[in-house]
Amino acid sequence: MGVAIPGVMGRMGKVLAQAVSEHEQLSLAGGTVRPGSEFVGQDAGALILGRRCDAPIADSLAAVPGVSGLIDFTSPELLPTHLDWCVANGVPAVIGTTGLNAEQKALIGAAATSIPVVFAPNMSVGVNVMLRLLKLATELVGEHSDIEVIEAHHRHKKDAPSGTAVRIGEVLADAMGWELDDVAVYGREGITGERPHRQIGFETIRAGDVFGDHTVLFAADGERLEITHKASSRMTFATGAVRAMAWLKGKPAGLYGMDDVIGLG
């Protein structure tokens, strides 16, 4: 299964290329970069893996031959173009792009009526296990706790809060029978008054080279429960993405999540 990686020479793109090359069921078909880049026409394997593997770098997906799967961790602005190409060519896609608005998420859903798509704000297996644990914890202690979400990422991350933090908030709110938009508070400043119970707070840290830390705090009178996931390498996300890509092979059109990939669905 030949996999194309948009943004292949970026920080995440390089790690994805390595992860694809190490998977026994996948091979690196090539990748894309922005038009005019010095990397156009070069071999991704030679630049990233230290060995040629006939994986050309191009300025469009149409110029990458032998693509039977796509893994996209680029940007919300580029996603529609990548989805259109996948639909037109019948290519399954794994989407790990974050910072999407409702319209962009709807485009993913529309594409999934024609092709199989795995979409998740975090491809880490550990994070998706954490989401399942959070649902259980919220059902058991949420009614008697104040709930806060604390997340930290590297200084280069462009969206806040992280897509993972937002997904965590959705799981928490759903377990409480709330709508996240009605109860989310993104940071606090000044005279905020007493904290109401019907609230989920988000605290965001952007510093250094933190790959991704997420903690949910359930604070009750006399005790605190904390559930934390810490990523120490981008390879954590890349490994989950290539696992999802291999899992998609032969699947019918539809929108899938990492729950489906790892058997939690």
Instruction: Name the catalytic one among 23, 135, 157, 251.
Output: 157
The question of whether 157 is a catalytic residue gets the answer yes
The β-bridge relationship of strands 69-72 and 2-6 is parallel
Using an 8 Å Cβ cutoff, are 151 and 162 in contact?
A: yes
Place of tokens 């707070």: 201
Using an 8 Å Cβ cutoff, are 261 and 242 in contact?
A: no
Q: How far is CA 225 from the centre of its chain?
A: 26
Place of tokens 């899938």: 256
Instruction: Name the catalytic one among 14, 82, 153, 214.
Output: 153
- CA angle at 72 for the pair 239 and 159, rounded to the nearest 5°: 95
Dist. CA 265–CA 246, nearest whole Å: 17
The question of whether 249 is a catalytic residue gets the answer no
Dist. CA 145–CA 250, nearest whole Å: 44
Structure tokens at 56: 């050309």
Dist. CA 259–CA 265, nearest whole Å: 5
Structure tokens at 240: 């989950």
Place of tokens 């704000």: 121
CB atoms within 10 A of CB 180: 17
Dist. CA 65–CA 58, nearest whole Å: 10
Which residues does the annotation mark as catalytic?
Answer: 153, 157
